[in-house]
């Protein structure tokens, strides 16, 4: 059984093997691709309804809560944790490190949502900097898509849809549909608005406290990163290591 601080009594299991299920990405991302213009179906992801339903059952198993580990620089791990509480399921997005006393919160997806939790530059950097010596998901395109629901950035680069579209094609989305699906996934997040991200030294978001350098703050009022550091109770040295791992420090 896996251990994540705060979830010691939960039936956590490694979820990485679920990525091989044909309907995994439909089950995982279909809700995020729903917009006013698009009502997604499993066929968008190149699978049928039965495959998507089977993957959904595995993702929401109340006796086996899947944990997807995305290890990146400096011993850090982004964690996607399915909290399959009966009647109140949720997905938590966290950052952990063996030296920390508690995890850092990125986002929460359920009826009491909190987010966004990642800027685009952080998402892409984490996806591209796998720690292959640590257990978890190492393929860049899978890492990007696993963390995509935590994204919320009002300044997406012009190639963002191409990057997501390429990742979708690599997991089996038909080539003709991948660009449209990528655009839907990056438009109108169902749970929160795109946010601005800034370093606290150039922003009032730090609330007047002396900030640690290099960690982006979010101006989204629903975000766990609004006006506070990503991980509480860590030292300045640990914060600097996290900033380097996120690709945001040294700033420039």
The mean pLDDT value of the chain amounts to: 92
pLDDT-derived band at 2 (thresholds 50, 70, 90) equals confident
- Domain membership of residue 70 (yes or no) is yes
Report the DSSP beta bridge partners of residue 206: none
- Domain membership of residue 235 (yes or no) is no
Residues in contact with 60: Cβ distance below 8 Å, sequence separation at least 6, in sequence order: 82, 84, 89
- Domain membership of residue 36 (yes or no) is yes
Percent of residues, the chain, with pLDDT higher than 90: 80
Helix (H) or strand (E) run with residue 94 in it: strand 90-96
E-assigned strand segments in 23-160: 65-71, 77-83, 90-96, 104-109
> How many other β-carbons are positioned within 10 Å of the β-carbon of residue 202?
10
| pLDDT at residue 208, rounded to an integer | 45
CA distances from 143 to 153, 171, 179, 200 (A): 18, 11, 19, 27
- Domain membership of residue 197 (yes or no) is no
Q: What is the mean pLDDT of residues 35-58?
A: 93
- Domain membership of residue 138 (yes or no) is yes
**Structural domain boundaries, residue 38:** 12-192
pLDDT digits (tens, 9 = 90+) for 193-251: 999 999 886 444 444 455 567 899 999 999 999 988 888 889 999 999 999 999 998 75
- Domain membership of residue 243 (yes or no) is no
What is the rounded CA–CA span in Å between residue 75 and residue 248? 16
| pLDDT at residue 211, rounded to an integer | 56
- Domain membership of residue 117 (yes or no) is yes
- Domain membership of residue 171 (yes or no) is yes
pLDDT-derived band at 252 (thresholds 50, 70, 90) equals very low
Q: Is 81 helix (H, G, I), strand (E, B) or coil?
A: strand
Number of domains in the chain: 1
Contact call for residues 103 and 231 (beta carbons, < 8 A): yes
| pLDDT at residue 205, rounded to an integer | 46
| pLDDT at residue 77, rounded to an integer | 98
pLDDT-derived band at 108 (thresholds 50, 70, 90) equals very high
Residues in contact with 180: Cβ distance below 8 Å, sequence separation at least 6, in sequence order: 38
Q: First and final CA of the chain: distance in angstroms?
A: 42
Q: How many residues does the chain have?
A: 252
């Amino acid at each position: 059984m896996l251990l994540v601080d705060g979830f010691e009594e939960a039936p956590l299991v490694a979820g990485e093997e679920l990525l091989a299920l044909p309907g995994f990405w439909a089950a995982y991302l279909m809700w995020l691709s729903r917009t006013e213009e698009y009502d997604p179906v499993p066929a968008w992801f190149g699978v049928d309804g039965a495959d998507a339903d089977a993957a959904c059952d595995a993702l929401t198993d109340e006796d086996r809560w899947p944990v997807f580990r995305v290890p990146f620089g400096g011993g850090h791990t982004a964690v996607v944790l399915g909290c399959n509480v009966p009647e109140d399921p949720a997905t938590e997005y966290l950052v952990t490190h063996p030296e920390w006393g508690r995890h850092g919160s990125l986002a929460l997806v359920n009826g009491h949502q909190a987010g966004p939790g990642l800027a685009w530059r952080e998402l892409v950097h984490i996806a591209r900097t796998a720690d292959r010596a640590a257990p978890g998901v190492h393929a860049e395109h899978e890492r990007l898509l696993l963390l995509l629901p935590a994204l919320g950035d009002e300044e997406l680069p012009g190639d963002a849809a191409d990057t997501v579209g390429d990742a979708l094609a690599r997991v089996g989305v038909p080539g003709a549909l991948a660009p449209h699906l990528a655009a839907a996934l990056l438009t109108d997040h169902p749970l929160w608005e795109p946010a601005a991200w800034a370093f606290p030294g150039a922003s009032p978001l730090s609330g007047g406290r002396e900030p640690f350098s290099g960690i982006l703050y979010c101006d989204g009022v629903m975000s766990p990163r609004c006006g506070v550091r990503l991980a509480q109770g860590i030292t300045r040295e640990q914060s600097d290591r996290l900033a380097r791992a996120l690709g945001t420090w040294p700033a420039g």
